[in-house]
Amino acid sequence: MSRKYYPSDISREQFDQVRPLLEGSRKRTNPRNVDLYDIFCAILYLLKNAATWRALPSDFPPVSTVRYYFDAWTRIPDNSHMSLLDQCLKKIGGARAQEKWAAALDELLHRGRTKRQEYRYRPAQRL
């Protein structure tokens, strides 16, 4: 399926550099039904545009699928100080671009936390 090109997308050649890293993070169960390139580009779209999960355009894979891979790729293993997504962003963008992506990634991971802290919500309460 062909989808629209977004300014946050990377080329397939750039993605081929990080594909082995990303493929190794998934447990070997059923065959993959979605293209990792589309998922990676969806995450880049969220990071670049500071969008919410529900604002993800419909021509990307479903939000639940993108969120599953985002959670898996941002988990920091015990033996490393960088998540898989951080490693990939550093590899495709260099040091300067990786700092920009890291700030956006941190904001996406912790969105809403300050509001909960400001109003002293308990974890079970809704905003």
Three-state DSSP at 50 gives coil
Q: What is the pLDDT of residues 40-98, one digit of tens each?
A: 999 989 888 878 888 899 999 999 999 988 888 888 777 777 788 888 888 887 555 55
- pTM exceeding the 0.85 threshold for the entire prediction: no
Contact criterion met (CB below 8 Å) for 23 and 54:
no
User: What is the reported pLDDT for 62?
Assistant: 93
Sign of CA dihedral 39, 31, 15, 94: positive
User: What is the reported pLDDT for 86?
Assistant: 82
User: In the block, which residue shows the tokens 């397939």?
Assistant: 12
